[in-house]
Chain A
Amino acid sequence: MSAFLRLLARNRLALGGLIVLGIVVILALLTPVLPLKPPNVTDTPNRFLPPFSEGAVLGTDHLGRDLLSRLMWGTRLSLAVGFAAAVIAATIGAAIGIVAGYYGGRTDNVIMRGVDMLMAFPYILLALAIVAALGPGLMNALIAVAAVNIPFFARNIRGITVGIANKEFVDAAKLAGMSDAKIIVTEVLPNVIPVIVIAMSTTVGWMILETAGLSFLGLGSQPPRADLGSMLGEARSALITNPHTSIVPGLMILVIVMAINLLGDGVRDALDPRLKSGALSRPMPATMVSRTGPIPQAEGDDLLAVRDLKTQFHVKDRVYKAVGGVDLSLKPGECVGLIGESGSGKSVTALSIMGLVASPPGVITGGAVHYKGEDLVGAPYDVLRSLRGRHVAYIFQDPQATLHPLYTVGDQLIEAVSSHRRISRDEGRAHAIDLLKQVRIPNAENRIDSYPHELSGGMRQRVGIAMALANDPEIIIADEPTTALDVTVQAQILTLLDDLRRDRGLAILFITHDFGVVAQLCDRVAVMYAGRIVEKGPTDAILNAPAHPYTAKLMACVPELGAGRRRLEAIPGLPPGVDQLPRGCAFADRCHRVTEACRARAIPLEAHGAERSVRCIHPVEAPKTEAAQ
């Protein structure tokens, strides 16, 4: 609760709303004891006095009644009626919703059908019908507004209750022999109250507006007593000659409703856990770059060279060092594997290359990515965009989520091309069919008009690959493209990628957590742990004789290369959180070769034989047998 209040207080707008509303409510409560003129005493000689007249600060209305006094009494009435309507609607609506949600089945069905019927009306029609039946009057307007809002509460609360009614603690209570009534009061009600509060805070403003509206129409409070709505209604005939009589009550409604809305938004934000973490931030078109330290220069003739790349996630005041200085290089026609457990930073490394890390919260804080000698980190958006998909293409994991659900496969393929060069519809279509054939999708002429949900997982992944091939790129970055697929399809896709690489001279950066895949496809491999590369070198050499204890353990988890799904759970312990990395070796806590020296200082990545390097001061010298122990 106090955390909730703190959150609310941090939201300055909500706090402002609370203060304004508080002042208005207090003034309304104090109205009877304030030194005001009687609100209903007419004084026709002094009608339509302008504001700031002597004896009438806000002026007088068409019957010479003091506007300030009428405003205060009217506000009191409007607030009372609005809140009363909200409380009545919330109580009855919640009761209906809880009964429907808790008992379910037939009860639920009948009640919700009725609620649906009521919701089929534009709300004012129902309110008008009720007022027509009961006759004009403030009480009847209140009943009408409350009644109209009951279905809204009933439906919301029912949804929540259904969720709670199926929870274990409710089952437990039932088994313990508690009565339904008792379960509802002790188990269900406490859990739905926050929802009721949110729903009320978002609707009470509406209710005040609606009752004011009915009064404005002459169907609510009747003369001489006036709420804000009827004050406005009465003033309407004098709008042109004496606008102040309209403006005064109108502004008051605006202030009240706005304060309530601000407060309601604040309450909703404070109670909605998704908004707390800032998870609803939208990712920008390219990852933010804020580099400190020297920027590595391009050297050598690599097609793609990642130099000392550092990518972090800044969430509130925490810094997650997802990638902590990674070097990688890729030559034309070469396939490099990047392997590691989930959370080791391999995907973030891959996404950083083209600035696709979601940002916020992602920030590239150091290093460089040289594509043909040109640094892509911090490159203008237009440069990045023209390279994306055209020279450097991505294949992502989970084709279910990575294809747009509402565009046909063909449209998505054609768009990959048309984003980079003009292409006629027919030409685009022919090209798309051709691409689908290349990735061996049967019946490509018909499949092109399918939506992603109409394809199997393997087919969707092939579409993803076809999309990456659309512009004949030089580099493909494949981020676990086979993880979501079953083994046979996985093998087909890998063969396909390997063929394409040979045919087209593609360079592939292949991200995986699977040594079997690496063995099949990659020339060189880099092993990542806690955001850094701990070992890299030719695939054969590393597979035959892993030097880093982590690589060795990782491979020991694989029962047999090329068979079935492999899990990495055999390594005891967990990788350190990347927001609290140790000074020394990040693997020290899980390593059986650890010594004091490992924890004392940062371990550099050092050469280990001719083509390999390893980040370890006690590398495993002998292959497999010892490492597996």
Chain B
Amino acid sequence: MAGYILKRLVSAVPVLLGISIIVFLIMAMIPGDPATAILGSFATPENVAALNEDLGLDKPLVQRYFIWLGNMLQGDFGRSFALNRPVLDEVTERFNATLVLAGSAFILCTVFGIAAGVISAANQYGLADKAITFVVLLGISIPSFFLGMMMILVFAVNLRWFPVSGMWPIFGDRTLWVLLDHLAMPATALAVVATGVVARLSRSAMLEVLRQDFIRTARAKGVHERRVIWGHALRAAMVSIIPVLGLQAGFVLSGAVYIEMVFQWPGVGRMLVDAILRRDILLVQGGVVFVAACYVMFNIMVDVAQSLLDPRIKT
């Protein structure tokens, strides 16, 4: 198992390099030069030239890439000029908040998505199936930012069940309970779309599995139908559900950008949007690379989970 994990980690290296190259190339497409962007349009040519030299922008593209990569490997992601603090500090701090939000949403979508899919498949064409199918369709069609806004309107403004926005109250204790109170709405709004997708996939994976011969064997043994569905069938279906969970993590992370805007959640998505609007290129660049790298690592964990579940995978 340790060997398998190591192998997957090694195979991630070219992917991470690829990510850094893609991000670097996209950022190199920026028209004009960042120095002018940083210094504003009233900067003197001398100042621009000086800053360009500081940033290493006078060097050829390939050299610049390796300098940037080398710095990143040493933990130096550059400095955000708008915030005037190291990019890595800002990104990790913001990423923690995103992790809380996206992580909760991911757990919600996994649990409820799979449960809904299984119930749906077990009662195919029944009332529960139809109801779930309809709710799922609604869920995957509603824009998460619109859903978030409506939730604020109903549950925060009208019913006053939850705070309107933010991760913590401005005054008061930072306890787990307070966090959960603030987390409930954004995590739910974020989870809805992914739950729908997971439910759909789980349903079809279950239907596929339920026709297999080993299900008939389990029934012929006298295994109770509850266990046939939630044990035998679900376990086999997980083989095709888990890879999709990996994909959903990407969708949840993406959706977090909108939800962070709607709920004023101090996460990395809001940071990126603000940085783009302020043209804080180094912050965007560092943030994107950092989050993408975390996502790659997460997918390795998914692969490992898959190999733990399925003994047929060569480890």
Which residue in chain B gives the minimum CB-CB distance to A123? B254
Which residue in chain B gives the minimum CB-CB distance to A280? B207
Interface residues of B in 225-263 (CB under 8 A from A): 225, 227-228, 232, 235-236, 239, 249-251, 253-255, 257-258, 261-262
Q: How large is the interface on A (under 10, 10 to 19, 20 to 34, 35 or more residues)?
A: 35 or more
Is there an interface contact between A212 and B221, defined as CB atoms closer than 8 Å? no
Is there an interface contact between A388 and B23, defined as CB atoms closer than 8 Å? no
B285 contacts across to A, CB distance below 8 A: 129
Is there an interface contact between A419 and B223, defined as CB atoms closer than 8 Å? yes
B215 contacts across to A, CB distance below 8 A: 283
B288 contacts across to A, CB distance below 8 A: 121, 125-126, 128-129
A118 contacts across to B, CB distance below 8 A: 22
Is there an interface contact between B236 and A243, defined as CB atoms closer than 8 Å? no
Which residue in chain B gives the minimum CB-CB distance to A257? B141
B44 at the A/B interface (Cβ < 8 Å)? Answer: no
Is there an interface contact between A122 and B261, defined as CB atoms closer than 8 Å? no
Given A209-B143, A283-B216, A406-B310, A122:B222 Cβ within 8 A = no
Partner of B257, one of A114, A130, A217: A217
B137 contacts across to A, CB distance below 8 A: 258, 261-262, 265
Is there an interface contact between B222 and A385, defined as CB atoms closer than 8 Å? yes
What separation, in Å, do the CA atoms of A396 and B220 have in the docked complex?
10
Is there an interface contact between A122 and B26, defined as CB atoms closer than 8 Å? no
Given A121-B295, A213-B258, A250-B150, A388:B207 Cβ within 8 A = no
B161 at the A/B interface (Cβ < 8 Å)? Answer: no
Partner of A217, one of B211, B239, B258, B311: B258
Is there an interface contact between B141 and A122, defined as CB atoms closer than 8 Å? no
Stretch of B1-9, B107-115, B170-178, B271-279 contacting A (4+ beta carbons < 8 Å): B271-279
What separation, in Å, do the CA atoms of A386 and B281 have in the docked complex?
68
Given A128-B284, A133-B26, A246-B149, A387:B222 Cβ within 8 A = yes
A3 contacts across to B, CB distance below 8 A: none
Interface residues of B in 270-313 (CB under 8 A from A): 272-273, 275-277, 279, 281, 284-285, 288, 291-292, 295-296, 299, 309-312
Main secondary structure of the interface of A (DSSP, over half): helix
What separation, in Å, do the CA atoms of A381 and B141 have in the docked complex?
39
Interface residues of A in 82-123 (CB under 8 A from B): 113-114, 116-118, 120-123
What separation, in Å, do the CA atoms of A136 and B275 have in the docked complex?
12
Is there an interface contact between A402 and B217, defined as CB atoms closer than 8 Å? yes
Stretch of A232-240, A514-522, A523-531 contacting B (4+ beta carbons < 8 Å): A232-240
Is there an interface contact between A124 and B257, defined as CB atoms closer than 8 Å? yes
B273 contacts across to A, CB distance below 8 A: 128, 217-219
What separation, in Å, do the CA atoms of A216 and B258 have in the docked complex?
8
What separation, in Å, do the CA atoms of A68 and B239 have in the docked complex?
49
Is there an interface contact between B221 and A125, defined as CB atoms closer than 8 Å? no
> Distance (Å) between the CB of B140 and the closest chain A CB?
6
Given A216-B145, A405-B214, A132:B221 Cβ within 8 A = no
Given A116-B15, A128-B288, A236:B262 Cβ within 8 A = yes
Per-residue CB contact flags for chain A residues 206-224 toward chain B (1 = under 8 Å, else 0) read 0001001100111100000
What separation, in Å, do the CA atoms of A390 and B223 have in the docked complex?
10
What separation, in Å, do the CA atoms of A237 and B109 have in the docked complex?
29
Given A125-B288, A415-B223, A282:B254 Cβ within 8 A = no
Is there an interface contact between A117 and B228, defined as CB atoms closer than 8 Å? no
Is there an interface contact between A389 and B220, defined as CB atoms closer than 8 Å? yes
A394 at the A/B interface (Cβ < 8 Å)? Answer: yes
Per-residue CB contact flags for chain B residues 127-170 toward chain A (1 = under 8 Å, else 0) read 00000000001101111011001101100010000001000000
Which residue in chain B gives the minimum CB-CB distance to A124? B254
What separation, in Å, do the CA atoms of A120 and B143 have in the docked complex?
24
A261 contacts across to B, CB distance below 8 A: 137, 140-141
B153 contacts across to A, CB distance below 8 A: 239-240, 243, 246
B96 contacts across to A, CB distance below 8 A: none
Per-residue CB contact flags for chain A residues 265-309 toward chain B (1 = under 8 Å, else 0) read 100000000000001111101000000000000000000000000
B219 contacts across to A, CB distance below 8 A: 285, 356, 388
A150 at the A/B interface (Cβ < 8 Å)? Answer: no
B29 at the A/B interface (Cβ < 8 Å)? Answer: yes
Is there an interface contact between A406 and B239, defined as CB atoms closer than 8 Å? yes
B18 contacts across to A, CB distance below 8 A: 113-114, 116-117, 120
Which residue in chain A gives the minimum CB-CB distance to B23? A129
Partner of A240, one of B157, B213, B296: B157
Is there an interface contact between A136 and B19, defined as CB atoms closer than 8 Å? no
A131 at the A/B interface (Cβ < 8 Å)? Answer: yes
B150 contacts across to A, CB distance below 8 A: 246-247, 250
What separation, in Å, do the CA atoms of A219 and B258 have in the docked complex?
12
Per-residue CB contact flags for chain A residues 383-412 toward chain B (1 = under 8 Å, else 0) read 001111110011010100111111100000
Per-residue CB contact flags for chain A residues 227-262 toward chain B (1 = under 8 Å, else 0) read 001001000100110010011001001100110011
B26 contacts across to A, CB distance below 8 A: 129-130, 132-133
A467 at the A/B interface (Cβ < 8 Å)? Answer: yes
What separation, in Å, do the CA atoms of A213 and B260 have in the docked complex?
12
Which residue in chain A gives the minimum CB-CB distance to B238? A406
> Distance (Å) between the CB of A460 and the closest chain B CB?
11
Given A122-B250, A125-B254, A205-B141, A232:B146 Cβ within 8 A = yes
Residue among A117, A129, A381, A405 with most chain B CB within 10 A: A129
Is there an interface contact between B276 and A254, defined as CB atoms closer than 8 Å? no
Given A122-B251, A122-B291, A406-B236, A257:B143 Cβ within 8 A = yes
A130 contacts across to B, CB distance below 8 A: 26
What separation, in Å, do the CA atoms of A358 and B143 have in the docked complex?
40
B221 contacts across to A, CB distance below 8 A: 388-389, 393, 415-416, 419, 467, 470
Is there an interface contact between B253 and A122, defined as CB atoms closer than 8 Å? yes
B36 at the A/B interface (Cβ < 8 Å)? Answer: no
Given A117-B19, A134-B29, A216:B261 Cβ within 8 A = yes
A470 contacts across to B, CB distance below 8 A: 221
B27 at the A/B interface (Cβ < 8 Å)? Answer: yes
A246 contacts across to B, CB distance below 8 A: 146, 149-150, 153
A583 at the A/B interface (Cβ < 8 Å)? Answer: no
B63 at the A/B interface (Cβ < 8 Å)? Answer: no
Is there an interface contact between B224 and A419, defined as CB atoms closer than 8 Å? yes
Is there an interface contact between B143 and A217, defined as CB atoms closer than 8 Å? no
B189 at the A/B interface (Cβ < 8 Å)? Answer: no
Is there an interface contact between B146 and A254, defined as CB atoms closer than 8 Å? yes
> Distance (Å) between the CB of A96 and the closest chain B CB?
15
A157 at the A/B interface (Cβ < 8 Å)? Answer: no
Given A120-B18, A387-B222, A250:B143 Cβ within 8 A = yes
Which residue in chain A gives the minimum CB-CB distance to B146? A250
15 A-B pairs within 8 Å (CB atoms) are namely A125-B288, A132-B275, A218-B273, A232-B146, A253-B143, A261-B137, A261-B141, A282-B121, A282-B207, A358-B211, A388-B220, A402-B217, A407-B232, A419-B221, A419-B222
Give me the interface of B with A, judged by CB distance under 8 Å. 14-15, 18-19, 22-23, 26-27, 29-31, 121-122, 124, 137-138, 140-143, 145-146, 149-150, 152-153, 157, 164, 204, 206-208, 210-225, 227-228, 232, 235-236, 239, 249-251, 253-255, 257-258, 261-262, 269, 272-273, 275-277, 279, 281, 284-285, 288, 291-292, 295-296, 299, 309-312
Lowest 3 CB-CB distances: which A-B pairs, in order? Answer: A124-B254, A117-B18, A250-B146
Given contacts A232-B145, A396-B220, A464-B217, 5 further A-B contacts (CB under 8 A): A116-B18, A254-B142, A285-B228, A401-B212, A416-B222
